[in-house]
Amino acid sequence: MGFAEFIENLARDDGKTRAYRRGLLLCLGLSILYKAVYFSGLVAAMPREILVDFDSFYVASRLVIAGEIEKTYYFATMYPAENALLGSTNYVGWAYPPQFELIILPLALMQEGIAFLLFIGASFLAYVTILARMAGRNLLPILILLLLPIQVNIASGQNGFLTAALIGLTCLLLQRRRAIAGLPLGLLIIKPHLAVAFAVYCVASGRWRTVAVAAATVIGTSLLATLIFGAGVWPAYLDGTRDASQNLSNGLFPLFRMISVFSALMTSGAPFAPAMAMQLVVTTTTIGAVIVAALRFPVNRALAVTVFASLLISPYAYDYDMPMLAIGLALLLPDLSAMARPGERAGIYLALFVTGAFGYFQTVLPHDVGPAKTLLVYDLSFVLRPERLSLAGIALAFCFALIWHVCNRDWRARPQTV
C-alpha cells in the first residue's frame, strides 16, 4: 500500500475509523485542557519561564481594559507589561489590528488559564465543527496530516483555529452563493494578509455583493473599535505595523517557524532584498493562479486553490496559521482521487505534512540556547542561529504547485455560474 492509499484509507466509514477519529479529537481536547492548567501557573511541577503567543494576548487584553491600548503597539511599554507577567526577558511583539483587541478584551476579566481554555477551547470547537461539516468522513486523514500545526496552535495559544473557522465559514457560504459570506471574510481583518486571496477570488468571480458585505464589515468593525478605543488607536497601530515590518527585514522574528518562501531564503543566507523580490514573484504568481481558478474551475476546486494560496501571499506566515489548510483539503479531497495519480496525491500529502513538521521539529529538537528551552519561544537567540533553516515555505510552494497542476489538468471542467 502506497502513502496516498494509506492516508485515504483513513477515510473509511467503519467502526474502527470512527473510533480513531473520536480518540484523536479526545486527545486534542485533553491537550487543550493540559495547556490551560499550564497557563494557570497553579501547578508547581509545570513552571513557566518563557512568554508565548497567548501571554501577549492576555497582557494586551489587560492593557486594553485598563484604557491603555496604545501601549500594546510599542516595545517601550509592551515589553515591561509582558515582563511583569512572568519575569521573563523574552518579548512577544504585537501588531494586531484593533478589531482583534475587541475579541480578546474579555480575557482580562479572568485568570489566564481560564482565559486560555475559553479562547482556544471555543475557537477549536468552532473550527472542528465547521471542518467536520465540510470534510465528512475525510476528517480523520485531514486532522492527521495537519496534526503538528494543530498542536503548535494549542501549545502557543495562537488564533489559528479562529482564522481557520472564519475561512471555513466563508467557503461554506461562497459554495452556497450567499452574499453573507462577506461577513466572516470581513472579520478576517484580524489577520488581513490571510484575506487577500479571498478578496481576489470574490472580485475575479464577480461576487460583488459578497465584496460589499466584507467591506461593510471592515468599516463597521473599524468604527466600533474607534468608538470604544478612541481615534488614537489607529496611529499607534500603524506605528506597530511599521516596527513589525522593520523587525522582519532585520530577521528579528523566529524565521525558522515561518512557512513563506521569503523565510526559506532568508534563513538560507540570502539578503533581504533578493528574498523579498522572490516573495513578490511568488505572491504575483499565486494571485494569478487564484484569478484563473476563479474563472475556470468548479467552485470547490477554486476555493481550495484560494485557501492554499492564502498562506503563500505574505512573507509573514507561520506554522500556527496552517490549520486553515484543512479547509482547502476538505474542499479538494472528494475530487482528488479522480483527478490525481497516486504519486501526485502522495506528493501533496507529504509536502503538506513536511510543511507543518519542519518548524515543529526544529523547535523541539535540543539546541544550545541557554536556559530557555521551552516550546515556541520568541527569543532572538532562536532567530539568529544559522542552522535553524525554514524550508517549510518551499514545501508549501511545492504542495500548491502540485494542487494547481492537478486541478488545471482537467481543461474540460466548466466552472459553476457565479
- Furthest-apart CA atoms within the chain: distance in Å: 63
For 217-265, the pLDDT digits (tens) are: 999 999 999 999 999 999 999 998 888 887 776 666 778 888 999 989 9
Long-range CB pairs of 228-236 (<8 Å, 24+ gap) are 228/102, 229/64, 229/69, 229/98, 229/101, 232/70, 233/69, 233/70, 233/98, 233/101, 234/98, 236/69, 236/70, 236/72, 236/73, 236/74
For 73-84, the pLDDT digits (tens) are: 998 899 899 888
The candidate with the shortest Cα–Cα distance to 90, out of 254, 242, 233, is 254
SS3 36: helix
**With contact defined as beta carbons under 8 Å apart, do 266 and 272 qualify?**
yes
Backbone angles phi, psi at 217, to 5 degrees: -65, -45
For 129-186, the pLDDT digits (tens) are: 999 999 999 999 999 999 999 999 999 999 999 999 999 999 999 999 999 999 999 9
Q: In this predicted structure, what is the pLDDT of residue 351?
A: 95
**With contact defined as beta carbons under 8 Å apart, do 261 and 278 qualify?**
yes
Q: What percent of the chain has pLDDT over 90?
A: 68
**With contact defined as beta carbons under 8 Å apart, do 225 and 98 qualify?**
yes
Helices (H), 41-157: 53-65, 75-86, 98-104, 112-135, 139-145, 147-156
Q: In this predicted structure, what is the pLDDT of residue 360?
A: 78
Q: In this predicted structure, what is the pLDDT of residue 12?
A: 87
Integer Cα distance of 340 and 337 in angstroms:
6
The mean per-residue pLDDT over the stretch 42-70 comes to 89
For 152-161, the pLDDT digits (tens) are: 999 999 999 9
Q: In this predicted structure, what is the pLDDT of residue 252?
A: 64
Cell of 67: 484604557
Q: In this predicted structure, what is the pLDDT of residue 418?
A: 41
How large is the C-alpha radius of gyration of the chain? 21
pTM across the whole model: 0.91
The mean per-residue pLDDT over the stretch 282-308 comes to 96
Integer Cα distance of 257 and 291 in angstroms:
29
For 266-279, the pLDDT digits (tens) are: 888 888 899 999 99
Query: What is the separation of C-alpha 417 from the centre of its chain, rounded to a whole number of angstroms?
Result: 30
Q: In this predicted structure, what is the pLDDT of residue 379?
A: 37
For 356-413, the pLDDT digits (tens) are: 988 777 666 544 444 333 333 333 333 334 446 788 999 999 999 999 999 988 645 4
The chain-wide mean pLDDT, for the chain, equals 88
